[in-house]
DNA sequence: ACCTGAACACCGTTCAAGT
DNA sequence: ACCTGAACACCGTTCAAGT
């Protein structure tokens, strides 16, 4: 008779890791509102209480899931390139992760003090240092990049939520028309571009903003006067 | 006998406006989670169902409240100054409104397509135009500023939520120590500044970031090459 | 030790019933 | 027309009870 020390290790044994993976699957397919204790328990073929036995709360589960996704980004940092390229790849990495998992963007915008984000903050900061930003300005400069990233993250998450509910283009057109109703803004050339909100290239737009900020950083650090007003 | 055409106009008559004002009061004092149908009904001395008779849904109520706060900002735009000053006062106006009402920041980060924000977007865009930004770049440039604003907004809202729950400084110190645990980062000068997260000057930091972006915009528009990479 | 699922304390929203 | 508040369909979380 075989020695029975396998201890009934069923292939579907519950674990924190398995719960997190199942949660990410639901989040990707159904969004954050789709992840409920009950839907998660059902997908794992278990009782709702079992989840709390492995993860403390729904919030902690969400944090763990976000941390995992962001950790994958920081793990793949190429350190051999220039500081600018490092910052670009770091920022783009998080951006692309958010595109793949929009709920990550919403969560990061909501809880920016997450350990994963702190790591990105510090990585960016060290690159800025070798870029020539003086030490006193490091904090505010890195914060600027991170704020921009989080702003875009939240907007992207919102955009996905929006398109999940209604037709995105129709919604935004209606919003613009509503706005035009109580304003004389046909002479505003921006209005003609606003509909681009519906079908523009998110990624290219993100890069443009990133380049603007990087330009601002280099011109200010070169000038050596980060705190004086521009112009 | 007096003619009875006053139609029993009690001073505490319910109206959409009165509901929104009461909601703002609760949001300011107790945060977004403090605003429930029941708490709002109680503060108005009415039944929970009465609110839905006037405002449709909780989300719509929140949107209306945010719209009102932001509208106050756009209403006070000084148009006689330089474009840069206009943009600064616009950005600072929203920032200060968010400081006064942190829940506005959370809501704007969550639903950035709100009519109020679209107005700010267009106002900024027209200022950028007179600043010399070419028409094709207007959209992405205005978006950059708005993304930054929304990122800061979300972070500020999160920070307030955080300090409501636990001691902010202790929490962040613990987060940094936790991070230091699995990293050799004592040679990172940024770490020494990270604790500034706890008690730094939000407003000055926001301004610094704003100036960085404005510098980036001017240098790029002057160079006339907004889409080429920097350096 | 791990899992179950009924029960609890909420939540937004609805709606028959009142005035 | 406006308001009431019980009722409904959820939600996250707990916990006695099972294995």
How far apart (Å, rounded) are the C-alpha atoms in residues B111 and B119? 14
pLDDT of residue A179: 60
C-alpha span between A198 and B32 (Å, rounded): 29
At residue B149, what are phi and psi to the nearest 5 degrees? -60, -45
Give residue A12's pLDDT.
61
* Cα angle for residues B178, B181, B183 (degrees, 5° grid): 115
Encode chain A (231 residues) as per-residue pLDDT tens digits: 333 333 333 446 789 999 999 999 999 999 999 999 999 999 999 999 999 999 999 999 999 999 999 988 888 777 668 888 999 999 999 999 999 999 999 999 888 877 788 888 888 988 998 898 988 888 899 999 999 999 999 998 887 766 666 665 666 666 666 665 545 554 556 666 665 555 568 899 999 999 999 999 999 887 655 444 444
| Highest mean pLDDT out of A109-113, A178-182, B118-122, B202-206 | B202-206
- The whole-number Å distance from A116's CA to D4's C1' is 49
Q: Extract the tokens encoding A117.
A: 């984000």
Distance from CA of A44 to the nearest CA of B (A): 30
A176 at B interface, C-beta within 8 A: yes
Q: In Å, what is the separation between the CA of B135 and the C1' of C5?
A: 62
Return the closest-CA partner of residue B110 out of A198, A34, A25, A162.
A162
Q: Cα distance from A38 to chain B (closest Cα, Å)? A: 22
Q: How confident is the model at residue B102 (pLDDT cuts 50, 70, 90)?
A: very high
Q: A163-201: b or e for each residue (b if 16 or more CB lie within 10 Å)? A: eeeeebeebbeebbeebeeeeebeebebbebbeebeeee
The answer to whether A92 contacts chain B (CB < 8 Å) is no
Of the candidate ranges B10-14, B48-52, B102-106, the one whose mean pLDDT is the lowest: B10-14
Chain segment B146-174, per-residue pLDDT in tens: 999 999 999 988 877 666 666 656 666 66
pLDDT at A140: 92
What's the pLDDT score for residue A122?
86
Record: contact B84-A212, CB cut-off 8 A = no
Report CB contact under 8 Å: A196, B119. no
**CB A42 within 7 Å, strand D:** no
């Amino acid at each position: 008779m075989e020695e029975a020390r396998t201890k009934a290790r069923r292939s579907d044994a519950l674990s924190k890791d398995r719960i997190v993976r199942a949660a990410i699957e639901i989040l990707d397919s159904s969004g954050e509102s789709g992840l409920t204790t009950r839907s998660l328990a059902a997908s794992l073929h278990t009782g709702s209480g079992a989840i709390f036995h492995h993860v403390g709360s729904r919030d902690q589960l969400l944090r763990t899931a976000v941390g995992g996704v962001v950790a994958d980004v920081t793990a793949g940092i190429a350190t051999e390139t220039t500081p600018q390229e490092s910052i670009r790849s770091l920022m783009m990495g998080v951006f692309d992760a958010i595109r793949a998992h929009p709920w990550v963007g919403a969560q990061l915008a909501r809880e920016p003090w997450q350990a994963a984000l702190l790591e990105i903050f510090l990585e960016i900061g060290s690159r800025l240092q070798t870029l020539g930003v003086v030490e006193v300005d490091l904090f505010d400069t890195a914060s600027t990049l991170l704020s921009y990233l989080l702003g875009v993250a939240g907007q992207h998450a919102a955009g996905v939520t929006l398109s999940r509910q209604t037709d995105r283009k129709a919604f935004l057109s209606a919003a613009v028309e509503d706005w035009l109703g109580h304003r004389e803004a046909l002479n505003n050339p921006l209005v003609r571009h606003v509909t681009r909100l519906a079908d523009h290239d998110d990624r290219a737009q993100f890069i443009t903003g990133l380049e603007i900020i990087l330009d601002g950083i280099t011109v200010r650090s070169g000038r050596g006067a980060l705190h004086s007003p521009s112009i």
